[in-house]
Each structure stands twice: as structure tokens, then as C-alpha cells.
Amino acid sequence: GSAMAAVREVEIDPEGTFKYILVRLQRPGGGEQRDIVRGTGAAEFHNHIFEKVNPEMEKLGYECKCLGGGKIEHNSKDKKIRVFGLSTGYGKADHSLTVEILKKEYTDYEITWSDDKK
């Protein structure tokens, strides 16, 4: 397998409502690419998440591009995730794409998205 396959597609907080970003990883010069979801309540702003992810991925030899952001509401008790909102700086991520990625990790969850602000 490639090193890219070793990068976890989803890293989000286990509980709560928090900001998230959708990031596209790419080998310089094209070739393989992968979209990953990162979200945490520790980030006050969306760019805080990107500023953490970007150097990690650059060390692995990938270029990062933020495809937008939003919020994730993660209810682990009811096994529900709601994706909504947007990032002021990066714009709105394609939440439907985010949901597809989340479904791979949280297979037994009900995962929905909307363009609602809150």
C-alpha cells in the first residue's frame, strides 16, 4: 500500500460540536490524491486545524489544499453525526463529500448534512 493509505481519512473529536475542514492531499506534480476530514473543539478558527495538519502532511511529502470547512456535531451516544455550517476563511466544504468520508469510518452511524448555519 502507499504511504497515503496510511494517512487516516478521519480524525475528529469523539463528542460535541466543533469546527472541521476538508483537506485534499496530493503528491507534488499530481498523481495520487486523497481527501481527509479533520475536526476538533480545540480549534477556535478553521485555520488552526489547517496549520496543524499542513506541516504534518508536508513531512510525509504531500501538498495540502483546504477544500473548505464547516461544523460537525458528533453525538456518540446516539451514533449520529451532523455536518453543517461553513468556514469564513475557507468557504463551505462539500458536506456531501465529507459525509461519504465519515461513513467509511463510522459505518453504523446515521450521518446527515445540511447548509444550516447552526
Q: Considering 46, 48, 74, 95, which one is annotated as catalytic?
A: 46
User: Catalytic site residue 46?
Assistant: yes
Residue labelled with grid coordinates 489544499? 65
Pairing mode, if any, of strands 110-113 and 33-40? unpaired
For CA atoms 44, 76, 67, 71, give the dihedral sign.
negative
Calpha distance 53→29 (Å, rounded)? 20
Residue labelled with grid coordinates 472541521? 20
- Residue 61: phi and psi, rounded to 5, are 95, 25
19 annotated ligand-binding residue: yes
Q: For 81, which DSSP code? A: E
User: What are the cell numbers at 72?
Assistant: 460537525
Give binding residues for substrate as ranges: 19
User: Catalytic residue numbers?
Assistant: 46
Give binding residues as ranges: 19
